[in-house]
Amino acid sequence: MDCFAENFVRYVDGLEMLPRSMATRTALSSPASQRVVIDFNYEVEPLPGRYPLPGIGPFALLQESEMNHWGKIMFRWMYWNILLKGQELPLPARMSMSGKWHR
């Protein structure tokens, strides 16, 4: 949402919108109650690594893990109890290359 408000005003004023550099993080279901977490944006493809603490995690990017599954369950609670109330998550909206393993 950081970029949306500013770009919306720019769009209404007929100005060019700022480039999108926001990250997308999502958990994809996999067998055995595990999830695969991906983190990417418009310039960088999904890369393996650890999120949110570089090298530590606890979430594994592009790998199945039970921790990813529990993270998805916890995010459901945060969605209903934090985001829908208009509060912000304590995580940066912009993608960081820290913790990513370059191919």
More confident residue, 91 or 103: 91
**Please, which pLDDT band fits residue 2 given cuts at 50, 70 and 90?**
low
Q: Does 1 score more than 60 pLDDT?
A: no
More confident residue, 35 or 84: 84
**Please, which pLDDT band fits residue 40 given cuts at 50, 70 and 90?**
confident
**Please, which pLDDT band fits residue 14 given cuts at 50, 70 and 90?**
very high
- For the entire predicted model, the pTM comes to 0.67
Residue 38 region by backbone torsions, left for phi larger than 0, else alpha for psi between -120 and 50, else beta: beta
pLDDT value at residue 20 = 65
pLDDT value at residue 21 = 59
